[in-house]
Amino acid sequence: MSDDRPQAFASRAVAAKVEDSRVSRGLPEGSRLPLAAQPPQAKTREAGGSSLDKAVFFLHLGRAREHLQAGRLEEAREELELARPGRPEDEDLLNLISIVEFRRGDFAGAARATRALLEKKPDSAILHANLGLIQFRAGVFGDAERELACALELEPDHARSHLLLGLLHRMRGELRPALEHLRRAGAKKASAEVEEALRSPTAKVPLTAVPPPPPAEPPSPEPAAHELASASARDAEDRPLFAIKADGTLEVASRGLVYVRKGSVVWYSGRMRFAEEPAFAGTRLERLLRAEGRGDLLLCDPNRRAVVRDVAGQALSLEGSRVLALSAGLKFRLEPVHGFRTHRRVDVLRVHGRGAAVVSLSGALEAHDVSADFPLSVSSRDLVAWTGELLPSVVEDRFVDEIMLADPDNAPKLRFQGEGVVLTEGPSASRS
């Protein structure tokens, strides 16, 4: 008969070691590492370390992967920081750090981890392309171009590097090199758009602003909530998930799961359960709740009206405080826009897939066409959403704050470059 005591002892030893690593850094179990916190420098250990140290390292690494796959980026970052002192140069660790920091929007941290990997593998086209992508998203276009060019020197047919260089050239208005790279990337739609621009460089399709809705007729009396409850189970499948009423409120016919803003529910019927979404913690989206169950809800954002946007398979970026509701079928990730000098950020939710997003606003929805020759600068307070291949960045220029309309909240000003459409709310309504 086998003896399980040595194995049990080893498991307890690993658990104790993990807890020691938390306590030594002043972190209670399950707590989150503050964004600005930095781990203390670990003492250099002998190559390989003890078997117990390895077990602790891989335990934290495994937990980080699980959190990353579930979209819990802050928890993933905490586990990586706990793993780092044991094997700070481990390639798997650095790779995960790069991914987590990139998704958090900390492009400087992602770049540091990728450069550390490049020191070990300077001839890796994939790593050069990754660093180029990070710099591209950070708006450091010169460095991005150099890294992507390095990737193509090492692997001339690297599709993603061709795609990013094509987008970079198109953003600058350099259409012929853009077309060459986009073709080699296999980006048929983008190539066709550049070809059209080369044939007719002055052609532009004007976009008209969306006016506010006309005054609505007095609504008819609504049935009570308990009357709707009995009908809900019968006809939820026959009704759209989201329906805008004449008074601007939002009716939701839930079939199982939908995301709704906390504090906006006027009434709900059916057996609904509400829970916080961990992925939104610490952002302006943390008020967005998971509503699980079949039933009806009525949502209202006082003095604002709901507007539904069908994603229809295209990516849509939403300013976080505007989101009123989301379809469960959408895939989403947080892509905050950081101001690295001022340490300010704008929380943005990027959604794609099939479904709809609902935002709330009080005035006219204005559409702004953005191109390489016509970038857009706008206050984040007016921002609603954007689509297309756009690169937003925080304008860190005090003079811009002075020349733009006064804002008592001092919301960050954003600059959009690239090709796409930005949706904003008219200033007279949003600043009233």
Q: Give the global pTM.
A: 0.47
Residue 230's pLDDT band (cuts 50, 70, 90) = very low
pLDDT at 225: 39
375 alpha-carbon distance from chain centroid: 22
Residue 270, pLDDT above cutoff 80: yes
Q: Give the model's pLDDT for residue 49.
A: 52
Q: Give, as one character, the DSSP assignment of residue 279.
A: G
- The structural domains of the chain, ordered by start, are 10-33+49-199 (1.25.40.10), 225-430 (3.60.160.10)
Tens of pLDDT, residue by residue over 240-267, are 888 888 888 999 998 888 999 999 999 9
**Greater model confidence, 36 or 367:** 367
Please give the structure tokens belonging to residue 424.
Answer: 């904003």
Confidence (pLDDT) at 358:
93
Query: Do β-strands 337-339 and 265-268 pair in parallel, antiparallel, or remain unpaired?
Result: unpaired
Q: What is the pLDDT of residues 86-120, one digit of tens each?
A: 788 888 889 899 898 888 777 788 889 999 999 99
Q: Residue 178 corresponds to which tokens in the numbers above?
A: 């853009």
DSSP letter at 265?
E
Neighbours of 136 (CB within 10 A): 22
What pLDDT sits at residue 326? Answer: 92
How far apart, in whole angstroms, are the C-alpha atoms of residue 311 and residue 315?
Answer: 7
Element (H, E) at 214: none
CB neighbours of residue 377 within 10 Å: 13
Encoded amino acid at 205, one letter = V
pLDDT tens, position by position, 316-338: 999 989 999 998 888 888 888 87
The reported pLDDT for the residue numbered 196 is 83
The more confident residue out of 290 and 85 is 290
Compute and round to an integer the Cα radius of gyration of the chain: 25
Instruction: Give the rounded distance of the alpha carbon of 287 from its chain centre.
Output: 16
Q: What angle do CA 399, 403, 406 make, to 5 degrees?
A: 110
What would the pLDDT profile of 54-82 be if each residue is shown by its tens digit?
888 888 888 988 888 888 888 888 888 88
Cα distance between residue 362 and residue 415, in whole Å = 23
Greater confidence (209 vs 94) lies with 94
Tell me: the pLDDT tens digits for 161-204? 998 898 888 877 788 899 999 999 888 888 888 888 888 644 43
Check residues 344 and 144 and name the one with the higher pLDDT: 144
Residue 389 pLDDT exceeds 80: yes
Average pLDDT over residues 219-230: 38
Confidence of residue 2 (pLDDT cuts 50, 70, 90): very low
Mean pLDDT of 393-404: 74
Amino acid at 284: R
Q: What is the mean pLDDT of the chain?
A: 76
CA atoms of 388 and 418, how far apart (whole Å): 8
Taking CA atoms, 414 is separated from 136, 261, 358, 397, in Å, by: 17, 25, 22, 11
Token couple for 36: 């600005």
- State the pLDDT confidence band at 160, using cuts at 50, 70 and 90: confident
Q: Quick check: 32 pLDDT over 70?
A: no
Q: What percent of the chain has pLDDT over 70?
A: 74
399 vs 177, residue with greater confidence: 177
Give tens-digit pLDDT for 132-147.
Answer: 988 877 667 788 889 9
